[in-house]
Amino acid sequence: QTDQVQQAIDDCLQVLKMNRFHYAAMVGLGHCYMELGDLVKSLYWFRQALDVYPDLEPIRVQVSRLEKAIQGS
């Protein structure tokens, strides 16, 4: 499963090379890194997505949860 997540990360990064404003790829990276347990990278990519598309309310909620989880660790 880790190989599939890494492949998804590679795919999202490739998309971002073609279009640096592709918020769905940023959200995808956030989910991938969360799956791998890297909350800091996950938070980074979710925040990047919100910078591009601020109306992503579910991602805003996820950012809040991640911030609390990171502060609590």
Tokens of 54: 């601020």
pLDDT tens readout for residues 10-69:
999 999 999 999 999 999 999 999 999 999 999 999 999 999 999 999 999 999 999 999
Question: CATH no. for residue 17?
Answer: 1.25.40.10
CA 1 – CA 6 distance, rounded (Å)? 9
- Domain boundaries, position 21: 2-72
pLDDT confidence bin for 1, thresholds 50/70/90: confident
Q: Half-sphere exposure of 41 toward its Cβ, with a 13 Å CA cutoff?
A: 11
Q: Provide the number of structural domains found in the chain.
A: 1
Q: Is the pTM of this model over 0.85?
A: yes
Tokens of 61: 């909620």
